[in-house]
Amino acid sequence: MKPVIVVHGGAWAIPDAFAEASVAGVKAAAQAGSEVLKRGGSALDTVEVAVRTMEDDPVFDAGHGAVLNADGEVELDAIIMEGKTLAAGAVSSVRNIANPVSLARAVMEKTDHIMLTGHGANLFAESIGVPILMPDALVTKEERKEWEHYKKYIVGVKELFNSQWGHDTVGAVALDSFGNVACATSTGGIRNKMVGRVGDSPIIGSGGYADNKSGAVSCTGHGESILKVTLARLILFHMDQGRTASEAAECSLQYMGERVQGGGGVIVVSPTGDWTATFTTERMAWAAMDGNLLYYGLNPKENIKETLN
Ligand code: ASP
């Protein structure tokens, strides 16, 4: 089986000021994941490494650089899932954890549960020796400034929500040389979200899903819309019906747009290595490594190809 990794850095109207850094970030993540695949590593290790790379990159709304909630604090959500066994782990509303995707993996591997939330997730992190950072350690100066700007100038909840949904969530899907698929998604959510709001990202079947029988998906975009249509599973349902990754992604995103007026983006890989990065927002930074070929894009229909040695 020829291994493949696809990553995204969030679907939204990425301003020009962030464009270059977002593309550089997804390319670096795809390459980091690809190194794992080349060494014969698992799809699960691959998606974890790729997502950690983006959590550590402050340009993305995940880990370091996450957006702030209505109280000006970071609350992070993440999921990881492996297609061989359908094992999954997730965390929601965790605070001051640098790499929520790895905490999600620990939930999957070290507990009898699938998701831990808030205080309990933080207690679990402490109990297994995951460092709890100082408050604000993950907050960038730019995000604090943006948050203050929105607090001051955007008052209506609807206006506030519409202006900011979809904000640089990160995700990865991979197929390894043994034919196993996996997915991971990690986010700070939406700026000024209510304290305790959980979006689609850590919810199995919505923000991500992986099944060796169908494929793996990671989603980004308006969380409440993605939840309503269980976007990741919807895409895999269409693939089970015989659609290609890109047909399934397109018709599912179109359905979400028509049915609940939500926009977003997805990355998908099938068990045979058919993959896509598709979105209905203005932009989505994405990259893929398929053999020695690196593909990436930011604008609709953009698909740039580079051969790496
Ligand atoms: N889906 C994420 C959420 O609603 C946001 C995003 O993808 O940008 O929390």
Residues 6+ apart with CB under 8 A from 34: 3, 5, 46, 289
Assess contact for 169 and 202: CB atoms under 8 A: no
* Nearest-angstrom CA–CA distance, 69 and 82: 30
Ligand 1 pocket test, pick from 79, 91, 187, 217 with the greatest ligand atom count within 8 Å of Cβ, gives 187
CATH class of 4-71+141-307: alpha beta
**pLDDT (tens digit, 9 = 90+) per residue, 67-84?**
999 999 999 999 999 999
Q: Which two tokens stand for residue 158?
A: 């609807």
Which is the closest atom of ligand 1 to the Cα of 220? 7
Answer whether residue 160 shows pLDDT above 50. no
Average pLDDT score, the chain: 93
- 280: part of which helix (H) or strand (E)? none
Residue 213 to residues 40, 44, 85, 142, 275, Cα–Cα distance (Å) = 21, 16, 11, 43, 15
Please give the full DSSP string across 107-130, using - where no structure is assigned.
HHHHSS-SEEEHHHHHHHHHHTTP
Backbone angles phi, psi at 15, to 5 degrees: -65, 155
Please tell me the least confidently modeled range out of 9-13, 234-238, 244-248.
9-13
Catalytic positions, written as ranges:
169
Cα–Cα nearest to 264, from 244, 238, 235, 290: 235
Which is the closest atom of ligand 1 to the Cα of 197? 9
Ligand 1 pocket test, pick from 143, 169, 194 with the greatest ligand atom count within 8 Å of Cβ, gives 169
Please give the full DSSP string across 87-110, using - where no structure is assigned.
-EEEEEEE-S-S-HHHHHHHHHHH
Residue 39 to residues 20, 36, 42, 46, Cα–Cα distance (Å) = 29, 5, 9, 10
The CA 39 to ligand 1 mean position distance, Å, reads 32
The pLDDT value given to residue 154? 57
End-to-end C-alpha distance for the chain, whole angstroms: 20
The CA 158 to ligand 1 mean position distance, Å, reads 16
Ligand 1 within 6 A of CB of 164 = no
Angle between helices 100-110 and 118-127 in degrees, nearest 10: 80
| Cα angle 179, 181, 184; round to 5 | 160
The pLDDT value given to residue 153? 60
- Residue with the two structure tokens 């370091």: 64
**pLDDT (tens digit, 9 = 90+) per residue, 251-306?**
999 999 999 999 999 999 999 999 999 999 999 999 999 988 999 999 999 999 99
* Nearest-angstrom CA–CA distance, 184 and 45: 10
Per DSSP, helices labelled H in the chain are 16-38, 43-55, 100-110, 118-127, 141-153, 157-164, 223-229, 231-240, 245-260
Kindly list the domain boundaries of the chain, sorted by start residue.
Answer: 4-71+141-307
Ligand 1 within 6 A of CB of 200 = yes
- Residue with the two structure tokens 């609940």: 260
Which is the closest atom of ligand 1 to the Cα of 189? 9
Q: What percent of the chain has pLDDT over 90?
A: 84
Over residues 102-118, the mean pLDDT reads 98
Over residues 130-147, the mean pLDDT reads 90
| Cα angle 21, 274, 298; round to 5 | 20
* Nearest-angstrom CA–CA distance, 80 and 44: 8
- Residue with the two structure tokens 């962030």: 18
